């Protein structure tokens, strides 16, 4: 009778945990079909729990109706990655036919859809370090440590420019929607990872792992006590039939 009481109490205690583990295990078993392994967690409270800070303001440059920005060494057109670069993005402008992004040592030409066409070495060795990027009558102007220079149509030849009618590229804060989309691509916490950590208890740290271990022990005890109870009951039934 004592074993039955212990079995009953442990069963009540572990019932919710069994449902919890069954539910998380069911989702994990179908994580690929549900695309959980490809979907990043975006909830700020969950990311805070993992110690990941979501950026509040990602510097970006508006080009017509689109944005060019850099985050963690990667250049983005809106929320689409273009390519990586260890050079710092210093400006971006839109001409009538293409987009131009200026990095410390390179000038990139992109289509109006953000596809990289060509990388041009910055004329910094001859003209000085590039500081700013701008437009004058649909032509590219750069500001360097030695002055302002106007490019030809092919961005090959540069000539000194003394005019003041240049529209300089200036950075602004990326819209929250694009910032969230970019951030989701750069951290490793997917929904599958979250479910795995919930299933194992790791999401709650060391205490969570210990609790899961205790629940596992409780389930083992339930299995043993249930087997013992079944054996005793079967033995009693067999003895009563013999009488």
pLDDT in tens, 82-116: 999 888 999 999 999 999 999 988 899 999 999 99
Q: Is residue 237 part of a domain?
A: yes
Same domain, 104 and 156: yes
48 found inside a domain: no
pLDDT grade for 33, boundaries at 50, 70 and 90: confident
3-state secondary structure of 87: coil
User: Is residue 46 domain-resident?
Assistant: no
**Model-wide pTM > 0.75:** no
Taking a C-beta distance cutoff of 8 angstroms, is the pair 127, 143 a contact?
A: no
Strands 74-77 and 130-136: unpaired
Q: Are residues 144 and 218 in the same domain?
A: no
Tally of domains in the chain = 2
Please state the rounded mean pLDDT for residues 164-178: 88
Residues in CB range of 197: below 8 A, 6 or more apart? 203
Domain that holds residue 222: 2-41+189-242
Strand order from edge to edge, sheet including 139-144: 158-160, 147-151, 139-144, 130-136, 167-168
Structural domain includes residue 156:
yes
Quick one: 120 and 207 in the same domain?
no
Q: Is the pLDDT of residue 133 over 80?
A: yes
Parallel, antiparallel, or unpaired for β 89-94 and 99-103?
Answer: antiparallel
In a domain, 49, yes or no: no
End-to-end, the C-alpha distance of the chain in Å comes to: 23
Q: Are residue 111 and residue 173 in the same domain, yes or no?
A: yes
pLDDT of residue 241: 67
Asked, for residue 108, whether it belongs to a domain, the answer is yes
Bridge partners, 141 (sequence order): 134, 150
Name the nearest CA neighbour of 135 among 105, 96, 173.
96
Residues 177 and 220 reside in one and the same domain: no
């Amino acid at each position: 009778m004592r074993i039955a009481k212990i079995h009953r109490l442990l069963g009540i205690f572990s019932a919710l945990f069994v449902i919890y583990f069954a539910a998380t295990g069911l989702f994990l078993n179908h994580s690929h079909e549900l695309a959980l392994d490809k979907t990043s967690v975006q909830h700020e409270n969950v990311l805070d729990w993992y110690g990941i800070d979501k950026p509040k303001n990602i510097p970006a440059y508006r080009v017509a109706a689109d944005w060019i920005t850099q985050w963690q060494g990667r250049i983005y057109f809106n929320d689409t990655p273009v390519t990586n670069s260890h050079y710092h993005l210093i400006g971006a402008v839109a001409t009538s036919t293409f987009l131009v992004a200026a990095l410390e040592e390179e000038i990139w030409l992109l289509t109006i859809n953000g596809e990289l066409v060509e990388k041009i070495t910055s004329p910094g060795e001859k003209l000085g370090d590039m500081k700013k990027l701008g437009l004058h009558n649909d032509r590219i102007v750069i500001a360097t440590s030695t002055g302002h220079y106007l490019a030809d149509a092919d961005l090959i030849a540069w000539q000194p420019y003394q005019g003041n009618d240049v529209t300089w590229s200036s950075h602004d804060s990326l819209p929250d929607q694009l910032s969230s989309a970019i951030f989701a691509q750069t951290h490793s916490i997917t929904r599958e990872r979250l479910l795995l950590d919930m299933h194992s208890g790791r999401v709650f740290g060391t205490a969570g792992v210990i609790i899961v271990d205790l629940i596992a022990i409780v389930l083992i005890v339930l299995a043993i006590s249930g087997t013992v109870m079944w054996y005793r009951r079967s033995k009693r039934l067999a003895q009563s039939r013999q009488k």
